[in-house]
Amino acid sequence: MKQFINSYWKTLLFFALIGIFGGFFTGIFVLDSYPEEMQQQLVEELTASGLGGFPADTIMGVVTAIQAAGYGIFLGAAGIWLGKKIGLWTDEKKIAKKPLLASVITAVVCGMVLILSDLLFFGNYSQIIMDSYNAKPTIPYLIASVLYGGVIEEVMLRLFWMSLVAFVLWKLFDRKNERPSTWVMTVANIIAALLFAAGHLPATATMIGLSPMIVFRCFLLNGVIGLMFGRLYRKYGLRYSMIAHGGCHIVSKLIWIMFI
């Protein structure tokens, strides 16, 4: 354990700091996305608890920051340990050109898919989707999507969950092999992508509402891009899935701001 901490404390500290900063702005963005009646209800609950003297968005930001930092430290540590066991974690210190290019291409493709799928298809089934594009993305949203989405979500879904599922499947069904087989990694990637998509349902319900088509949209879009991030994690390492994930948000929002 001591050797593990000595080897990875800087990585875990990085996850924690990103979690604090990204989580704080995620809390602010989430609160802003609530309907007015829900925001008012939260203010009343804070007042009743004796915290009414603090801004609701600050409290929401602090709570989310603490939560995200915890994810970064504990799920990050577990994910690194699991990843080393199954060969998914690498200790590379430098960014390689080929994997970086793959990450950038993935970010561009995913960002374009997110926008065009709404504009050309899903927007026909929900005016709320189209209305959501009328508001330009805020600074808290951009910071939250790049830092919390790009780093903390990748720690949670790829580093931890994908590694955990692969480890369990390997031990249960593939122990004859020294490392998990291709089918184990593929199934783990699919399950992690589905969890990634399901994790977006609460935010989707708050901002858009849920209907069969909206649920299908959530699982299709987030599931597909989750598979692509998982492929990068498996082939090149976690840093490249993080680059692609954060870059996907940047590309989609910059395109929207600049051209649409």
| Percent residues over pLDDT 70 in the chain | 92
| End-to-end Cα spacing for the chain | 52
Burial of 109 (C-beta count, 10 Å sphere; 0-12/13-18/19+): middle
Q: Is the pLDDT of residue 9 over 80?
A: yes
157-205 pLDDT tens trace = 999 999 999 999 999 999 999 999 999 999 999 999 999 999 988 888 8
40-53 pLDDT tens trace = 776 667 666 666 66
Q: Are 231 and 139 in contact (CB under 8 A)?
A: no
Q: What is the pLDDT of residue 159?
A: 97
Residue pointed to by tokens 């395109």: 255
Helix, strand or coil, per DSSP, at residue 70:
helix
Helix, strand or coil, per DSSP, at residue 53:
coil
Q: Are 260 and 115 in contact (CB under 8 A)?
A: yes
Tokens (6 digits) for 207: 């901002």
Mean pLDDT across 3-30: 92
Query: Any idea of the CA torsion for 136, 248, 203, 12, to the nearest 10 degrees?
Result: -120
Of 241, 248, 240, the residue nearest 100 (C-alpha): 240
Helix, strand or coil, per DSSP, at residue 183:
helix
Rounded to whole angstroms, the Cα distance separating 108 from 100 reads 12
Cβ-Cβ contacts under 8 Å for 222 (sequence gap 6 or more): 193, 196, 197, 200
Q: What is the pLDDT of residue 37?
A: 73
Cβ-Cβ contacts under 8 Å for 197 (sequence gap 6 or more): 218, 219, 221, 222, 223, 226
Rounded to whole angstroms, the Cα distance separating 222 from 228 reads 10
Domain residue limits, the chain: 2-259
Residue pointed to by tokens 């649409």: 260
User: Residue 43: what are its φ and ψ, rounded to 5°?
Assistant: -60, -45
